[in-house]
Amino acid sequence: MPDGNEAADADHAASRRRLRALAAHLICGTAASVALVVADVAQNRLPTWSPLVIVGWGGILALHVGYVMGLFDTLRRPRRGGRQGGDTGR
């Protein structure tokens, strides 16, 4: 069983991986958004459909930020002190 420092190191490493993935998602999303706006403006002189893609990507990016912040951790980890899987209380 890992001691407190090993567990903290593992949590820190996982947080760093999440943050790096978020940074990559943000950079790719920004680059794709700029490319889409340029293509849309070159085609139509005004952005028509690219804002819809940007808003959609922004929603997914917001969920990714929530994941990195740990807002969904309660869905992954069992609660302490409560019933564990399969226990019906009979």
Taking 3-state DSSP, the helix, strand and coil percentages for the chain, each rounded to the nearest 5, stand at 70, 0, 30
Please report the pLDDT score of residue 90 as a whole number: 47
Q: Which residues, including other chains, have CB under 8 Å from residue 68's CB and lie 6 or more apart?
A: 15, 18, 19, 21, 22
Query: Which stretch of 2-11, 17-26, 48-57, 72-81 has the lowest confidence by average pLDDT?
Result: 72-81
For the chain, the structural domain boundaries read 13-74
Q: What's the confidence (pLDDT) of residue 81?
A: 59
Task: State the average pLDDT over residues 21-33.
Answer: 93
H or E stretch covering 23 = helix 4-44
pTM score: 0.66
